[in-house]
Amino acid sequence: MEIIVFYLFAAIAVIAALGVVGLRNPVYAALCLAVVFVSFAGLYVLLSAPFIAVAQVMIYAGAILILFVFVIMLLSPPVDQGEGALKWQKPLALGFVGALAVQLVLVLALAVLPSARGSLTPEVIAQRGDVQVVGAALFSDYLLPFEMTSLLLLVAIVGVIVLAKKR
Amino acid sequence: MTLEPWLITVIEALIKVLVVIVVLLTGFAYLTLVERYVVAKIQSRVGPNRVGAAGGIAWLQPIADAVKMIMKEDFWPAQADKVTYTLAPGIAVATALLAWAVIPLNPAITVFGYTINFYIADVNVALLFLLAVGSLGIYGIVLGGWGSNNKYSMLGALRSTAQMISYEISLGLALVGVLMISGSLSLVKIVEQQSFWWFVFFQPVGFVIYFIAAVAEVNRLPFDLPEAETELVAGYQTEYSSLKFALFYMAEYINMITVSAIASTMFLGGYQGPFGILPGAHWLILKILFFIFVMMWMRGTLPRFRYDQLMRFGWKVLLPLALANIFVTAVVLVLIGK
C-alpha cells in the first residue's frame, strides 16, 4: 500500500519536474512547480513528517510560488521559442548532465550515502508528535540559527521599504 | 466474506468523502436561496416566490437555477489561455472541499462493535492543513483572472491575491491563541477539549479577528474588492459563463460554509453543545448557519471598503491586534502555570 502511494507521488513529481524544465510557457512551468511541491508534500507524509509536508504546501506552493506566478503574469514574458539560446549552452549542459549521471551511478554503486538511523525514528515521532519534535529542536538546539533567520527577514523587509520609498 | 482491514478503512473513507461532498453541494444550492431571502428581507423585497412555491418559499428555485446554468452557452474568450481558463474553477472548488477532510462532525458512535468516527482524517497538523489548503485556494482566482486575458479579470485576480495573502496572516495568527490553550493541532482534540467551556470565552479577541479575516478570505462584502462590480465588471469571473461560472459561485459558498465550520470548531466547540448539552452534529450545523447568516447580514448592510482602507485595516489594525492577542495569551498561560 505504502509503496504504491510512494510511486504515485514520485511519478507525479518527476513528470511535473520535467514539465518545469521543458514547457515553453513560463506560467505553465510555474504551475508544474506547484504540482512538484504538492507531490513532495505527499512524500513527506509517507516519511511520517506531516509538519514538513504542510509547511511545504503552505509556504512554497501557497506563498512563494504565488508571488512567482504574480511576477510572471505581470511581466507577461513572451513564450520562449529558443531564439535567445547561447551557442555554447547545449554542449555545456550535456557535459553537466553527463557528470551528474556518472555521480548518480557511482553513489548508487558504492552506497556512499550513510543509512544509519538518527535518534528521531518514526516510533519517537509517533510518541511525541511531529510538531512537538520539530518545535523542541528549533527552540533548543537550533535557537541561534532560528533567531538569525528572523534577523535576515527583518533586513529584507527594511531593504524593500528603502527601495520602495526611493521614488 | 471478510475484508482486509486496510480495504475497510479505504471504503469507509470513500463513503465519508462522498457524503460530505453531496451534503456540501446540496447545502450550497440551498444557501443561494437563503441568501436571496435574507437580502430580500433586508431590502424590503419579497424574494423568489414562483418556482415550486409552497408556504411562501420557492423550494425548486435552486434546481431551476442549476438547470439554467447548465443550459447556458459555454463562452470562450478568443484570446483566453485554454488550459488555465478551464483549470481555474476546478481548483477553486477542489480546495474549498479539501478542508473538510479534517473537520470533526459528530462524536464517535459504535454500531455492532464497529466504531465510526465522524471525520475523514485526524492528523496532528489539521490546523496547519486548513491554512495550507486555504493558501492553495488563491490559485483558482489567479489562474481564472490571468487565463481570461481580460484586464478587469487580471486586476481582480491581483487584488484578491494581495488581499488573501494579507488577511491569511491575521487569520493564522488568530488561531494561534486557540492552539496555545489546547496544546494540539488536531481539530478532533481541540473539539473534545471544549466539551464545557468553549474557547471563545478565553479567546474573544482571537475569535473576532478570525471572523473578520475569514470574511476577507472568502471575498465577501465588505471585502469583495476582487469582484467589485462597480469598478471591475465582475473581477476575475468576468469572462466566465455557464458551468464554469457556477463552479466559481459554488467555491465561494462552500468556502463560506468551510470558514464558518472552522470558526465553530475552533471557538464555539464544534459539535459540542453549550455547557455540555446534547453534543452532536446538529450543533455544528446550527453554528455554521449562524455564521453564514451574519455574513449575509453584513452583505445586506455594509458598503464596500476602498482598496487602500482594506490594506491599511489588514496590516495596521488586524495584524498588530492578532500579535498582541498571542502575547497576552502567552503571558496569562505562564502566569497561571499551564
Residue B111 in any domain: the answer is no
pLDDT bucket at B74, cuts 50 / 70 / 90: confident
- Residues A72-121 have pLDDT tens digits of 878 876 666 666 667 778 888 899 999 999 988 888 887 666 666 666 66
Residues from chain A contacting residue B132 (CB–CB below 8 Å): 54-55, 57-58, 61-62
Residue among B207, B202, B132, B210 nearest B170 (CA): B210
Do B129 and B33 belong together in one domain?
no
Do A72 and A131 belong together in one domain?
no
Residue B210 has pLDDT above 80, yes or no: yes
| Confidence at residue A24, expressed as pLDDT on a 0 to 100 scale | 81
What percentage of chain A carries pLDDT values higher than 90?
Answer: 20
Give the count of Cβ contacts less than 8 A between chain A and B.
Answer: 63
| Confidence at residue B228, expressed as pLDDT on a 0 to 100 scale | 66
Domain C-terminal end among B29, B49, B71: B71
Average predicted confidence (pLDDT) for chain B: 82
Do B137 and B198 belong together in one domain?
yes
Do B189 and B129 belong together in one domain?
yes
Do B151 and B42 belong together in one domain?
no
How far apart are the CA of A51 and the nearest CA of chain B, in angstroms? 6
| Confidence at residue A108, expressed as pLDDT on a 0 to 100 scale | 80
Omega within 30 of 0 (cis) for the link into B222: yes
Do B159 and B27 belong together in one domain?
no
| Confidence at residue B26, expressed as pLDDT on a 0 to 100 scale | 86
- Residues B103-123 have pLDDT tens digits of 887 777 777 767 777 777 777
CA B274 – CA B195 distance, rounded (Å) = 8
Whether residue A27 and residue B84 make contact (CB cut-off 8 A), yes or no, is yes
Average predicted confidence (pLDDT) for chain A: 82
Residue B200 in any domain: the answer is yes
Q: Which residues have CB under 8 Å from B187's CB, separation 6+?
A: B102, B103, B104, B119, B122, B126, B127, B130, B265, B266, B270
| Confidence at residue B3, expressed as pLDDT on a 0 to 100 scale | 67
User: What domain range includes position A59?
Assistant: 1-80
| Confidence at residue B328, expressed as pLDDT on a 0 to 100 scale | 92
| Confidence at residue A156, expressed as pLDDT on a 0 to 100 scale | 93
Do A8 and A63 belong together in one domain?
yes
Do B94 and B190 belong together in one domain?
yes
Residues from chain B contacting residue A38 (CB–CB below 8 Å): 136
- Residues B153-193 have pLDDT tens digits of 888 888 888 888 888 888 889 888 888 888 878 888 888 88
Residue B286 in any domain: the answer is yes
Do A3 and A69 belong together in one domain?
yes
| Confidence at residue B186, expressed as pLDDT on a 0 to 100 scale | 80
Q: What is residue B54's DSSP assignment? A: E
Residues from chain B contacting residue A70 (CB–CB below 8 Å): 142, 158, 161
- CATH (domain of A22): 1.20.120.1200
Residue A111 in any domain: the answer is no
Q: Do B215 and B168 form a contact (C-beta atoms < 8 A)?
A: no
Residue among A40, A36, A56 nearest B128 (CA): A56
Residue B194 has pLDDT above 90, yes or no: no
| Confidence at residue A129, expressed as pLDDT on a 0 to 100 scale | 64
Residue A35 in any domain: the answer is yes
Q: How far is CA B322 from CA A94, B169, B210, in A?
A: 53, 9, 9
Give the total residue count for chain B: 338
| Confidence at residue A83, expressed as pLDDT on a 0 to 100 scale | 65
| Confidence at residue A69, expressed as pLDDT on a 0 to 100 scale | 83
Residue B116 in any domain: the answer is no
| Confidence at residue A82, expressed as pLDDT on a 0 to 100 scale | 63
- Residues A26-72 have pLDDT tens digits of 888 888 998 999 899 888 888 877 888 888 888 888 888 888 888 88
Do A74 and A4 belong together in one domain?
yes
A5–B contact, CB cutoff 8 A: no
pLDDT bucket at B55, cuts 50 / 70 / 90: confident
Do B291 and B151 belong together in one domain?
yes
Residue A150 in any domain: the answer is yes
Q: What is residue B198's DSSP assignment? A: -
What are the backbone angles phi and psi of residue B159, rounded to the nearest 5°?
-60, -45
- The B residues from 160 to 199 touching A (CB cutoff 8 Å) are 161, 165, 185
If one counts the domains in chain A, the total is: 2
Residue type at A58 in one-letter notation: M
| Confidence at residue A49, expressed as pLDDT on a 0 to 100 scale | 79
Do B66 and B166 belong together in one domain?
no
Among chain A residues, the shortest Cα distance to B135 is held by A62
If one counts the domains in chain B, the total is: 2
Do B152 and B216 belong together in one domain?
yes
> Which of B87, B127, B136 is best to mutate for the A interface (most A CBs within 10 A)?
B136
Residues from chain A contacting residue B142 (CB–CB below 8 Å): 66, 69-70, 73
- Residues B4-50 have pLDDT tens digits of 777 877 888 888 888 888 888 888 888 888 888 888 888 888 878 77
Do A62 and A9 belong together in one domain?
yes
Cell numbers at residue B81, please? 489561455
Mean pLDDT computed over B47-63:
78
Domain C-terminal end among A30, A54, A80: A80
Residue A3 in any domain: the answer is yes
Among the ranges given (A24-38, A152-166, B73-87, B247-261), the one the predictor scored with the smallest mean pLDDT: B73-87
Do A72 and A130 belong together in one domain?
no
Residue A96 in any domain: the answer is no
Higher local confidence (pLDDT), A73 or B228: A73
Q: Which residues have CB under 8 Å from A104's CB, separation 6+?
A: none
Residue A57 in any domain: the answer is yes
- Residues A147-160 have pLDDT tens digits of 999 999 999 999 99
Residue B179 in any domain: the answer is yes
B13–A contact, CB cutoff 8 A: no
Residue B180 in any domain: the answer is yes
User: What domain range includes position B326?
Assistant: 75-104+121-335
Among partner residues B83, B129, B158, which is closest to A54 by beta-carbon distance? Answer: B129
Residue A89 in any domain: the answer is no
Among partner residues B6, B125, B138, which is closest to A51 by beta-carbon distance? Answer: B125
Mean pLDDT computed over B226-230:
67
Do A75 and A124 belong together in one domain?
no
Higher local confidence (pLDDT), A113 or B239: B239
Do B180 and B297 belong together in one domain?
yes
- Residues B323-332 have pLDDT tens digits of 999 999 999 9
Whether residue B132 and residue A57 make contact (CB cut-off 8 A), yes or no, is yes
| Confidence at residue A27, expressed as pLDDT on a 0 to 100 scale | 83
Do B59 and B127 belong together in one domain?
no
CA B22 – CA B100 distance, rounded (Å) = 12
Whether residue B161 and residue A131 make contact (CB cut-off 8 A), yes or no, is no
Whether residue A34 and residue B146 make contact (CB cut-off 8 A), yes or no, is no
- Residues B263-307 have pLDDT tens digits of 888 888 778 777 767 777 788 888 888 999 998 888 888 888 888
DSSP helix/strand/coil, A76:
coil
Q: Do B307 and B225 form a contact (C-beta atoms < 8 A)?
A: yes
ipTM, two decimals, is 0.77
**Look-up of cell digits 452557452:** B73
Do B37 and B97 belong together in one domain?
no
